[in-house]
């Protein structure tokens, strides 16, 4: 079979064509069979009738041979011939002499003249009868308007004891027989045809049906969610588009809801996928029943539903619906011996207020949902343009961070940490900067929270550690470097190996590295954090508590975790002059450090008064604009040099000249 034909057969129309071809073939064979069988039956019927009739004539016309020889028939024979002409289906018969000359014709009985007709000359098809002296029969269609439609014409030899006395021609009306045979054969052919066609037809029917079922299933799968039977996202958006188009410019308010069911993840994570599916099914059943009987509902994401409500009165009505969703869906679901609970968050977008097309409304409801999730779940939020602006800003920042990492736009700045009593340089805090060629300097206070959200903080944090260790490895050995850590770096499980890599890469001693963590770290998985802090301690790395006083400031942290230093948040320092109670609070905090034997660092020291107060209060270390702003690594050498010079000038017995450092062991490396 050629490839074109094969391809044709494989197509829908090809299958029909193949079946039609097969049926036409069967029909053709059927017609040929009916014609052939009818002819055969007619021939054998004609033979039988002819035979019977010939015997009938022979036995009733004793002078038949004589008649054939040209003698006139006896009166009895003429009477017999008259009667015979009206009996049965023989409608005409003739007698010929041995040479085929017509002697008597039933239709012209009693005729006196001789016939001038010879059957062999006029009907050469009968010549084989003369040659073999045997009977010859034809079944013919008459074609004439009078006489039978179908007839058989037989020529039989007449004779006794082997002599040929003449010929008897018998014409039998076969019209009725032909019809009978034809209809019987047609019925038979139809039955056989039906039996023959039944197999392939059944096969075709079965295949078509299977295909239809498969197509229906495919259609179902592409439009519906298997677990809940609700529409899927694509189908829902399509339907929403249609419904919105149908609304036209209608002022009737409608609403789109996006619903997040955190319980699906919780159920799946804790009890496996069956629990998750049970939970979802129950949620789907509830949502289409109670709050959303009139809505078009879909499961749009693993644990998220969406619904379009075609009619709402006003914002209050929409808020009522949203509250109802939270209330109905947050009821617990029982699964085996467990109870599955889910916080429910809902985002609402109003039509026409927040948009009129499906994709716009989807975005608006998603933004509102995000806000509801961020607000702590189990609540609803309406779409607000301001939130969208914020979201867009955040997306831009996400892209900028990715770009910055790929193109090395990140840089570390260093801010000196000073010992208040001696004013000596003790180390630097590394502070990250994103210096974008077009967008300018972006503050870590802006991009660190975004990087924490996207997870980019892991690679950025690792880079900071490597970069800080590398830079500080060129400083004098008594100077430390402090690096800020995000609490998320403790969750990755990679922190220790990242630190080892950073230290090893620059051959930087662990005791010169300090890590700054905030109280937020201690809100997470306390055991995991404690374990890692212990490993850091064992490695010889110092850990400082940054921004002390701003977070939860639970004093229990201070003795639960052995911090190497506590950094007092700059808001306290700023308050020294402005807030009367601040100095007292600061003194208390500083004395707390003394009792714990943990050195205190004051952040954000901007004035000499602040520095003096802190020194008197017993604070050991400080950093702030008073001493220096954070500077790029290239300016660190100058600060170190200045500090060295200052320390020389304080040493007794050294002249001003001699105080100038002619050569520093580490200077050359800075």
Q: Does 623 bind Mg ion (CB under 5 A)?
A: no
In the bound complex, what is the minimum distance in angstroms from residue 287's beta carbon to Mg ion?
Answer: 47
Nearer to ligand C2E, 276 or 604 (CB): 604
Interactions with ligand C2E, residue window 473-502 (CB under 6 A) = 484-486
* Stretch of 27-35, 328-336, 361-369, 617-625 lying at the interface with ligand C2E (CB under 6 A): 617-625
Burial class of residue 551, CB neighbours in 10 A (0-12, 13-18, 19+): middle
DSSP assignments along 212-274, one per residue:
HHHHHHHHHHHHB-TTT-SB-HHHHHHHHHHHHHHHTT----EEEEEEEEHHHHHHHHHH-HH
402 binds ligand C2E (CB under 6 A): no
CA distances, 626 to each of 163, 190, 516, 650 (Å): 156, 110, 21, 20
Q: Which one of ligand C2E, Mg ion, none is in contact with 73 (Cβ closer than 5 to 8 A by kind)? A: none
- When asked if residue 516 is in the footprint of ligand C2E (CB under 6 A), the reply is yes
Q: How far is the CB of 254 from ligand C2E (least distance, A)?
A: 45
Task: Using the minimum distance from each CB to Mg ion, give the nearer residue, 445 or 555.
Answer: 445
444 binds, among Mg ion, ligand C2E, none (CB under 5 to 8 A by kind): ligand C2E
> Is 636 among the residues that bind ligand C2E (CB under 6 A)?
no
Among 50-58, 230-238, 257-265, 442-450, which window interacts with ligand C2E (CB under 6 A)? 442-450
SS (H, E, C) 49-62: HHHHHHHHHHHHCC
Q: Based on the shown chain and the rule CB under 5 A, indicate whether residue 165 belongs to the binding site for Mg ion.
A: no
Residue 87, binding choice from Mg ion, ligand C2E, none, Cβ under 5 to 8 Å by partner class: none
Q: Closest distance between ligand C2E and the C-beta of residue 382, in Å?
A: 33
Of 266 and 485, which has the nearer Cβ to ligand C2E?
485
**CB nearer ligand C2E, residue 279 or residue 548:** 548
Stretch that binds ligand C2E, among 102-110, 151-159, 289-297, 440-448 (CB under 6 A): 440-448
Q: 497 to 556, contacts with Mg ion by CB under 5 A?
A: 516, 546-547
Exactly one of 624, 639, 640, 643 binds ligand C2E (CB under 6 A); that residue is 624
Q: How far is CA 322 from CA 41, 86, 103, 361, 507, in A?
A: 87, 102, 114, 16, 59
Contact region for ligand C2E (CB under 6 A) — 246-254, 305-313, 337-345, 618-626? 618-626
Strands of 373-532, DSSP E: 379-382, 410-419, 424-436, 440-442, 480-484, 513-517
Cβ neighbors of 68 (< 8 A, separation 6 or more) are 95, 96, 97, 98, 103, 158, 165, 166, 167, 168
> According to DSSP H, which parts of 290-440 are helical?
315-329, 358-374, 385-406
630 binds ligand C2E (CB under 6 A): yes
Cα radius of gyration (the chain): 56
Determine the Cα angle at 216 with ends 214 and 218, to 5°: 65
Neighbours of 657 (CB within 10 A): 6
- Work out whether 541 is an interface residue with ligand C2E (CB under 6 A): no
DSSP structure class, residue 95: E
Please, what is the minimum distance in Å from the beta carbon of residue 625 to ligand C2E?
Answer: 4
The closest alpha carbon to 369, from 402, 394, 390, 344, belongs to 344
Select 128 or 632, whichever has its Cβ closest to Mg ion. 632
Question: Does residue 368 touch ligand C2E according to CB under 6 A?
Answer: no
Among 484, 486, 532, 620, binds Mg ion (CB under 5 A): 484
Gap between the Cα atoms of 656 and 666, Å rounded: 22
Residue whose C-alpha is closest to residue 256's, from 323, 325, 308, 314: 308
Rounded to a whole number of angstroms, the minimum distance from the CB of residue 484 to Mg ion is: 4
Task: Give the containing element (helix H, strand E) for 166.
Answer: strand 166-173
Task: Give the H/E segment covering residue 299.
Answer: strand 296-301
Residue selected from 295, 306, 604, 614 as contacting ligand C2E according to rule CB under 6 A: 604
Alpha carbons 322 and 101: distance in angstroms, whole number: 114
Residues that bind ligand C2E (CB under 6 A): 415, 431-432, 443-445, 448, 461, 464, 484-486, 516, 546-547, 570, 603-604, 606, 623-625, 630
């Amino acid at each position: 079979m050629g490839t074109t034909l094969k391809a044709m057969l494989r197509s829908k129309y090809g299958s029909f064509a193949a079946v039609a071809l097969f049926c036409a073939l069967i029909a053709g064979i059927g017609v040929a069979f009916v014609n052939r069988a009818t002819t055969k039956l007619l021939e054998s019927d004609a033979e039988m009738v002819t035979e019977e009739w010939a015997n009938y004539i022979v036995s009733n016309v004793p002078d038949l041979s004589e008649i054939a020889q040209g003698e006139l028939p006896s009166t009895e024979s003429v009477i017999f011939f008259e009667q015979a002409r009206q009996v049965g289906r023989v409608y005409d018969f003739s007698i010929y002499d041995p040479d085929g000359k017509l002697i008597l014709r039933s239709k012209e009985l009693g005729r006196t003249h001789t016939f001038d007709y010879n059957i062999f000359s006029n009907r050469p098809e009968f010549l084989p009868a003369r040659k073999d002296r045997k009977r010859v029969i034809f079944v013919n269609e008459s074609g004439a308007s009078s006489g039978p439609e179908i007839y058989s014409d037989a020529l039989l030899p007449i004779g006794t004891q082997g002599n040929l006395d003449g010929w008897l021609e018998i014409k039998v009306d076969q019209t009725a027989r032909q019809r009978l045979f034809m209809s019987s054969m047609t019925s038979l052919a139809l039955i056989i045809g039906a039996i023959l066609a039944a197999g392939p037809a059944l096969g075709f029917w079965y295949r078509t049906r299977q295909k239809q079922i498969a197509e229906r299933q495919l259609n179902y799968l592409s439009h519906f969610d298997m677990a809940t039977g609700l529409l899927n996202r694509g189908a829902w958006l399509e339907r929403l588009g249609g419904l919105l188009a149908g609304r036209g410019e209608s002022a009737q308010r409608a609403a789109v809801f996006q619903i997040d069911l955190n319980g699906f993840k919780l159920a799946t994570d804790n009890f496996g996928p069956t629990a998750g599916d049970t939970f979802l099914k129950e949620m789907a059943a509830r949502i289409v029943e109670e709050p959303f009987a009139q809505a078009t509902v879909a499961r749009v994401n693993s644990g998220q539903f969406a619904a379009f409500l075609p009619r709402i009165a006003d914002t209050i009505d929409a808020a009522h619906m949203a509250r109802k969703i939270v209330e109905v869906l947050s009821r617990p679901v029982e699964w085996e011996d467990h109870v599955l609970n889910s916080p429910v968050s809902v985002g609402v977008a109003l039509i026409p207020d927040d948009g009129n097309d499906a994709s716009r409304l989807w975005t608006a409801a998603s933004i509102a949902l995000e806000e509801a999730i961020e607000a702590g779940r189990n609540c609803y939020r309406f779409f607000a343009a301001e939130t969208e602006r914020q979201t867009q800003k955040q997306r831009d920042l996400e892209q900028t961070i990715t770009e910055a990492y790929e193109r090395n736009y990140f840089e570390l700045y260093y801010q000196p940490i000073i010992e208040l009593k001696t004013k000596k340089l003790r180390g630097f805090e590394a502070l990250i900067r994103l210096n974008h060629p077009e967008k300018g300097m972006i503050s870590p206070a802006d991009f660190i929270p975004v990087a924490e959200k996207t997870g980019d903080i892991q690679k950025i944090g690792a880079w900071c550690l490597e970069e800080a260790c590398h830079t500080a490895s060129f400083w004098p050995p008594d100077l430390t470097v402090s690096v800020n850590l995000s609490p998320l770096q403790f969750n990755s499980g990679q922190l220790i190996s990242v630190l080892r890599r950073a230290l090893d890469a620059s051959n930087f001693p662990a005791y010169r590295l300090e890590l700054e963590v905030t109280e937020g770290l201690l809100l997470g998985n306390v055991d995991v954090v404690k374990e890692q802090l212990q490993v850091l301690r064992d490695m010889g790395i110092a850990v400082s508590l940054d921004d002390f006083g701003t977070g939860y400031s639970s004093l229990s942290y201070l003795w639960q975790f052995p911090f190497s230093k506590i950094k007092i948040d700059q808001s306290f320092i700023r308050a020294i002059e402005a807030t009367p109670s601040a100095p007292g609070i600061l003194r208390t905090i500083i004395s707390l450090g003394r009792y714990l034997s943990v050195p205190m660092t004051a952040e954000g020291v901007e004035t000499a008064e602040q520095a003096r107060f802190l020194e008197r209060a017993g604070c050991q270390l400080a950093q702030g604009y008073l001493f220096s702003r954070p500077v790029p690594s290239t300016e660190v050498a100058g600060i170190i040099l200045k500090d060295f010079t200052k320390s020389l000038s304080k040493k007794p017995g050294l002249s001003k000249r001699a105080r100038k450092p002619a050569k520093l062991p580490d200077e050359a490396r800075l």
